[in-house]
């Protein structure tokens, strides 16, 4: 089969690889129908995730069809259409029992990271019973690809951890796919205002179409001053960090209201300053989280009933054999106006 293989920082290739086979009785082999590229894949290619080694197939999102299941898999059979979770989980260990699948003792984020991933014609999924979801008939497969990672991430790490409530003012720093997923799912709770902050005018325009009540381009204007103007000098009740650099986390600290929440989503490679000299008395809560994907079944229902339309995040489509061109388009998101790309395996 063909797959997108990582060969060290800056190097990747679409090349022939052995088709995966069952290793444990709890595994399934899935033929990929559609997959995509994540901001995290770009972090890997920059060399930010050194555990990813030369020869690894990238990708942790996708939908497909079961090709083969191990003898211990009871929930799936050959021919079933499935959604692949970016998080692999056994469902049995102490962390899984707490609903913290991201820290599963025999899983977590391993796809396209510690084991071969989904940017390929076939993928092996460990703990298939707990790591795959059945695709309902008539569901839009493309839209479901957004459920492998970005929707549960925006919702769990941003909206749930930030405790968004009716009437709240929510500020989201970063209007990439993850920030936009937080914007879409924050609206389950009818906040009064959702303010998006980014440096890309196209992404801010998309944010307004997706329900942002205000947008701030912090390249051109002082975001802190504007947030205080918009909130009667109070700051935002919930601030969601969806970028992953020190400057944006520190911006979150500056715009959170007393009693508010900062929900960090971004993957950080450097430490950020925590301004306790100001915040110690502000009754704030700061949360961090690796997505658990425990809300995937709920999100799947909202997508199938069209309450949530994540297909709106898809801007480009390519045959999977053109994956290198797709990476190029994804890497030049500002020029190409890219949000999510879909790679189709015919
Ligand atoms: N916690 C988790 O489980 C988890 C899961 C998936 C992704 N992530 C992380 O979430 C983050 C967002 O992911 P994404 O795919 O949307 O990334 P992305 O790179 O597509 O989007 C980031 C956005 O931030 C904007 N930005 C950059 N610098 C800025 C600044 N100084 N001020 C304001 N805006 C700025 C960019 O213009 C861009 O629109 C990444 O760090 C990613 O690795 C975390
Ligand atoms: Zn991802
Ligand atoms: Zn587990």
The tokens for 168 are 């709240």
Q: How confident is the model at residue 324 (pLDDT cuts 50, 70, 90)?
A: very high
Q: Do 247 and 313 have their domain in common? A: no
pLDDT band at 48 (very low <50, low <70, confident <90, very high): confident
pLDDT of residue 138: 85
What does the alpha-carbon distance between residue 134 and residue 30 come to, in Å, rounded to a whole number?
12
Same domain for 128 and 66?
yes
Tell me how many domains the chain contains.
2
Longest dimension (CA), the chain: 61
Q: What is the pLDDT of residues 13-42, one digit of tens each?
A: 999 999 999 999 999 999 999 999 999 999
What pairing do the DSSP bridges indicate for beta strands 236-241 and 256-264? Answer: parallel
Q: Probe ligand 1: pick from 39, 156, 245, 334, max atoms within 8 Å of CB?
A: 39
250: domain CATH number?
3.40.50.720
Q: Give pLDDT tens digits for 197-209.
A: 999 999 999 999 9
Give the domain extent around 310: 2-148+292-344
**Last-in-domain residue among 264, 287, 310:** 287
**β-pair partners for 229:** none
- pLDDT for 32: 98
Averaged pLDDT for residues 145-149 = 97
- Give me the half-sphere count of Cα atoms (radius 13 Å) on the Cβ side of residue 268: 16
Q: Are 111 and 86 in contact (CB under 8 A)?
A: yes
CATH number of domain containing 80? 3.90.180.10
Confidence of residue 312 (pLDDT cuts 50, 70, 90): very high
Residues 332 and 224 in one domain: no
Does 133 lie in the same domain as 20?
yes
**For the chain, where are the E strands, in sequence order?**
2-6, 12-16, 28-35, 56-57, 62-69, 81-84, 122-125, 132-134, 169-173, 193-198, 214-217, 236-241, 256-264, 285-287, 314-319, 340-344
Which residues are within 8 A (CB) of 68 and not within 5 positions of it... i.e. 6 or more apart? Answer: 22, 28, 29, 78
Claim to verify: residue 130 and residue 186 sit in the same structural domain: no
CB 174 less than 6 A from any atom of ligand 1:
yes
Q: Ligand 1, residues 158, 215, 242, 337: which to mutate, most atoms within 8 A of Cβ?
A: 242
On whether the CB atoms of residues 181 and 146 are closer than 8 A, the answer is: yes
Which of 287, 310, 331 is the last residue before a domain boundary?
287
The answer to whether residues 117 and 160 belong to one domain is no
Mean pLDDT of 43-58: 93
How remote is the CA of residue 288 from the centroid of ligand 1, in Å? 14
Q: How far apart are CA 197 and CA 110, in angstroms?
A: 31
Predicted local distance difference test score (pLDDT) of residue 346: 85
Instruction: Give the mean model confidence (pLDDT) for residues 242-263.
Output: 97
What's the CA dihedral at 101, 104, 109, 115 to 10 degrees? Answer: -140
Alpha helices in 161-216 (DSSP H): 177-186, 201-209
Q: 18, 116, 132, 31: which is closest to 73 by C-alpha? A: 132
Residues 93 and 194 in one domain: no
- Mean pLDDT of the 144-160 span: 98
Residue where one domain finishes, among candidates 270, 287, 304: 287
How many Å lie between the centroid of ligand 1 and the Cα of residue 17?
31
Confidence of residue 306 (pLDDT cuts 50, 70, 90): very high
Q: Are 169 and 191 in contact (CB under 8 A)?
A: yes
Q: Is the pLDDT of residue 253 over 90?
A: yes
143 with 158, same domain? no
* 209-237 pLDDT, tens digit each: 999 999 999 999 999 999 999 999 999 99
d(CA 292, CA 290) in angstroms, rounded, equals: 6
Q: Does residue 241 line the site of ligand 1, with CB under 6 A?
A: no
Note whether 277 and 299 are same-domain residues: no
C-beta separation of 179 from 154 below 8 A? yes
CB atoms within 10 A of CB 130: 20
pLDDT at 268: 87
Counting Cα atoms < 13 Å in the Cβ hemisphere of 142 gives 14
Q: Is the CB of 103 under 6 A from ligand 1?
A: no
What pTM was computed for the model?
Answer: 0.97
Q: Could you count the other beta carbons within 10 Å of the beta carbon of residue 55?
A: 11
Predicted confidence at residue 269, as pLDDT, reads: 81
Q: Is 297 found in the same domain as 329?
A: yes
The Cα 285–Cα 294 span in angstroms is: 22
Query: Are both 92 and 185 inside the same structural domain?
Result: no
List the structure tokens of 20.
């995966």
Tokens coding 95:
């962390």
The SS3 call for residue 207 is helix
> Are 97 and 225 contained in the same domain?
no
């Amino acid at each position: 089969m063909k797959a997108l293989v990582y060969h060290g920082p800056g190097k990747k290739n679409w090349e022939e690889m052995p088709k995966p086979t069952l290793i444990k009785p709890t595994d399934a082999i899935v033929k990929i129908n559609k997959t995509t590229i994540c901001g995290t894949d770009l972090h890997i290619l920059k060399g930010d995730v050194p555990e990813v080694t030369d020869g690894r197939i990238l990708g942790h999102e996708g939908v497909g069809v079961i090709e083969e299941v191990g003898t211990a898999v009871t929930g799936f059979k050959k021919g079933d259409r499935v959604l692949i979770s970016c998080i692999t989980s056994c469902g049995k260990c102490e962390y899984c029992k707490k609903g913290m699948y991201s820290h599963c003792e025999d899983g977590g984020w391993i796809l396209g990271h510690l084991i071969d991933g989904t940017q390929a014609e076939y993928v092996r999924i460990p703990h298939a019973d707990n790591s795959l979801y059945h695709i309902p008939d008539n569901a839009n497969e493309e839209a479901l690809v957004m459920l492998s990672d970005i929707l549960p991430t925006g919702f769990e790490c941003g909206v749930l951890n930030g405790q968004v409530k009716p009437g709240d003012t929510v500020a989201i720093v970063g209007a990439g796919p993850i920030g936009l997923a937080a914007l879409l799912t924050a609206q389950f709770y009818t906040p009064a205002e959702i303010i998006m902050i980014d440096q890309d005018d196209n992404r801010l325009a998309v944010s307004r179409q997706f329900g942002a009540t205000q947008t701030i381009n912090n390249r051109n204007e002082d975001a802190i001053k504007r947030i205080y103007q918009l909130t009667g000098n109070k700051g935002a009740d919930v601030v969601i960090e969806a970028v992953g650099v020190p400057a944006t986390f520190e911006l979150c600290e500056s715009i959170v209201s007393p009693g508010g929440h900062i929900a960090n989503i971004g993957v950080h490679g450097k430490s950020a300053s925590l301004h306790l000299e100001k915040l110690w008395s502000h009754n704030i809560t700061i949360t961090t989280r690796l997505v658990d994907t425990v809300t995937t079944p709920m999100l799947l229902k909202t997508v199938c009933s069209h309450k949530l339309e994540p297909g709106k995040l898809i801007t480009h489509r390519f045959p999977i054999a053109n994956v290198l061109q797709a990476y190029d388009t994804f890497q030049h998101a500002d020029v190409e106006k890219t949000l999510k790309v879909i790679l189709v395996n015919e």
